[in-house]
Chain A
Amino acid sequence: MSRKTKNIIELTGIYSVIALMFVVIFYPLLWTLGLSLNPGTSLYGASMIPENWSLVHYEWLFTNPRSDYLVWYKNTIIVATATSFFAVLFVSLVAYAFSRYRFVGRTYGLYAFLLLQMFPVLMAMVAIYILLNTVNLLDTLTGLIIVYIGGAIPMNAFLVKGYFDTIPRELDESAKIDGAGHFRIFFTIMLPLAKPILAVVALFNFMAPFMDFILPRIILRSPENFTLALGLFNFVNDQFANNFTRFAAGAILIAIPIATVFLLLQRYLVSGLTAGATKG
């Protein structure tokens, strides 16, 4: 009897903790959704459960000539796709060299990567600004993409190198004996086997431009070049309380696709991360 009671009490405890966490997690998200459906534009007077809800803000984002939302969305997708593609390319090449070849500077290179990934790009913002200015890439998406790719190399190369190390060397050695060249081994053996971690790298670098607003803020000047994060940030920053419901609508439209992709792939992501970090 007492054991059964204890069991029930414990389970109730567990479920109430879980329920509490559900409330804490869902409250801000649902609050935003509710707010985005309010007809007024200001935070004051808006409520989580609007009495006469409407989709005016969503409509405004897409149709109003003063809204750059679609341009921002397009810019972000361009930046995200380019960054993700080139980051995977460069990172896998570098990681392959570090995992399979001995060459001058290899060990120091690894240490250097570890150190460099600790430094946020933010610390060097003045220099990046001056550098991009001298090569005329300031206020261009290309400049932003280049900085993203360069910044992605140290951290991701380390992850991918760790994963490559777990692929048995016998595989590529036997291919070499069969007469396969360096690139052939790389493209037909290493890359297909490393798909999980490459997917992680691609996903990370695809999502970064959706989430990052500080680099775009330093590099991009004109509103037609903004990415979503920067555009939305300026949106609320100018008149915080007054544009909030529109911001909420814009935010929901970013959060839903990103969160969906993320939840679908997160299993991949966690296993890739732990494999790279512990086995590497």
Chain B
Amino acid sequence: MANKEDTNDVNLNHSQKKSHNPKMAAILSIIPGIGQVYNGRKIKGSIFFILFAAFIIVFNDFLNIGFWGLVTLGEIPRIDDSRVLLAQGIMALILTSFAVTFYVANLMDAYKDAKRIQQGWKPSSIREEFRNAWDKGFPYLLVGPGLFLLIFVVVFPLLFMVFLAFTNYNIHNAPPRHLLSWVGFDNFIALVTIPIWRDTFFTVLSWTLIWTFVATTLQIALALFLAIIVNDPRVKFKRLIRTVFILPWAVPGFVTILIFSAIFHDQFGAINRDLLIPLLGFGIDWLSDPFWTKIALIMIQVWLGFPFVFALFTGVLQSISSDWYEAADIDGASRWQKFRNITFPHVMFATAPLLIMQYAGNFNNFNIIFLFNQGGPAVRGQNAGGTDILISWVYGLTFETQNFNMAAAISIIIGLMVAGFAFFQFRRTRSFKEEGKI
């Protein structure tokens, strides 16, 4: 950004500046600020140095205790609380990673400035420097508050959970009475080798996958079918019909699930009492037979989940140009061909990322499983209920049996599955392909 007046000076000073060494600046910056001073940017250098010194003075003890705690998890039972030490350790890690980022930025800054000086660039005036700092720093200022919250409410807890999975924290070995210790991958190994854990894990996992696939797919299929028939030009009162179809989405989910659990109640429920017994002569044990509970859950989820997809599809259907269908009519295409080659691709292309989110959402749909029957009915020979999915099993392990280590290990598995799948799919969406343009 050399000004026009400076151009002459630049040429004159060119040979002198050759002596200015970028590597030297970078090496001096091992103590932040010195390199910047060497570059002739005294204010910037002193700010860097003050920040650096303040960081060391303020956080030295905290980091020390933090890392000591993270490695040892405490040494004296009842006095050292391993959970608190672990939390401090993670904070220390987060702080350190920020410090390292800043440190590297400082080294690079000194090197880059020195290089530009070598090529004949003059450090700008203080006013301009402040302006530059404001311009460059502005995005960080915007992200700052949100990032801070995000780190403490989301990132920190997730890291804590990850670390817990490698400890032996359970009801028999709970701080502050006992100390925790690192056990490596023992919890994951236990999950696939100890019979009761292995049986439960694989039963729960397979039901989770079936649940995700069947409930979500049915939900999407019903939505697609309804969106198409309501979109038929011959149908009247479209607005009214669409509003009613969106109603299940509008009513708070926890209310409807609790209502359904009353409707499906084995003895007093409306389905058994008013529908099945008068018609068929017998009722179904909706809440005490695992198989029928699963059926009921899937039906309820379809009821709850189809309106959102229906609303999406309706929007897309209205935007498909009628030229497509007219051209197909001229070619004599059948209704099925029109659906397969025009409607379906259009709808799927426009909504794919949101549909993937539906699958991911149902994979972790804790509310319906827990509220309908608390994951029950209980099943012999495993420590999860008959309809527990992974996330509700984690809840049970955490708050009912206090197997924190196993809960954390399973959480990691859930996280990896969902993240891997979604990440792979999302990379294909346009928002990432266009990333380079900005």
- Asked whether B248 is an interface residue with its Cβ less than 8 Å from the other chain, the reply is yes
Cβ-defined contact, A124 with B158, below 8 A:
yes
Interchain CB contact under 8 A, A258 and B250: yes
Within 8 A of B (CB), among A121-135: 121-128, 130-131, 134
B350 near A274 with CB under 8 A, answer yes
Alpha-carbon distance between A255 and B253 when the two chains are bound, in angstroms: 9
Q: Is B407 an interface residue (CB 8 A)?
A: yes
- In the complex, per-residue mask of B40-51: 1 if CB is within 8 Å of any chain A CB, else 0: 000000000000
B426 beta carbon closer than 8 Å to chain A:
yes
Residues of A within 8 A of B87 (CB): 127, 130-131, 134
Q: Chain B contacts of A162 at CB under 8 A?
A: 431
What is the CA–CA distance of A91 and B142 in the complex, to the nearest angstrom? 10
**In the complex, A29 has a CB within 8 A of chain B:** yes
Question: How far is A225 from B367 in the complex, measured between Cα atoms in Å?
Answer: 21
Number of interface residues of B (CB under 8 A): 97
Q: Mark A161-182, 1 if CB is under 8 A from B, else 0.
A: 0100100000000000000001
Asked if A211 lies at the interface with its beta carbon under 8 angstroms from chain B, I say yes
Q: Is the CB of A118 within 8 A of B360?
A: yes
Q: Is the CB of B250 within 8 A of A94?
A: no
A254 beta carbon closer than 8 Å to chain B: yes
How would residues 140 to 165 of chain A score, 1 for a CB under 8 Å from any chain B CB and 0 otherwise? 00000011011101100100001001
Residues of B within 8 A of A263 (CB): 243, 246-247, 250
B residues near A131, Cβ cutoff 8 Å? 87, 152, 156-157, 160
A278 neighbours in B (Cβ, 8 Å): 350-351, 353, 429-430
List CB contacts (< 8 Å) of A91-111 with chain B: 91, 93-94, 96-104, 106-107, 109-111
Which of B10-18, B177-185, B391-399 lies at the interface?
A: B391-399
Residues 99-135 of chain B, each 1 if its beta carbon lies under 8 Å from chain A, else 0:
0010001000000000000000000000000000011
A50 interface contact, C-beta 8 A: no
**Interchain nearest-CB distance for A175 vs B (Å):** 15
* Pair B251/A258 contact, Cβ less than 8 Å: yes
| A14→B232 contact, CB < 8 A | yes
> Among B83, B263, B411, B431, which residue has the most Cβ atoms of chain A within 10 A?
B431
A-B contact pairs, 21 of them (CB 8 A): A21-B245, A32-B255, A32-B259, A104-B101, A114-B422, A118-B422, A120-B391, A121-B153, A124-B161, A126-B398, A127-B158, A128-B153, A130-B160, A131-B160, A182-B134, A211-B252, A214-B395, A240-B262, A254-B252, A274-B315, A274-B354
Q: Interface residues, chain B, CB within 8 Å of chain A?
A: 83-84, 87, 101, 105, 134-136, 138-140, 142-143, 145-147, 149-150, 152-161, 164, 226, 229-230, 232, 234-235, 241, 243-256, 258-260, 262-263, 265, 267-268, 270, 274, 303, 311-312, 315-316, 350-351, 353-354, 360, 364, 366-367, 370-371, 391, 394-395, 398, 404, 407-408, 411, 414-415, 418-419, 422-423, 426, 429-432, 434-435, 438
Task: Give the interface of A toward B (CB within 8 A).
Answer: 7, 11, 14-15, 17-18, 21-22, 24-26, 28-29, 31-32, 43-44, 48, 90-91, 93-94, 96-104, 106-107, 109-111, 114-116, 118-128, 130-131, 134, 146-147, 149-151, 153-154, 157, 162, 165, 182, 207, 210-214, 229, 232-233, 236, 240-241, 244, 247-248, 251, 254-255, 258-259, 262-263, 266, 270-271, 273-274, 277-280
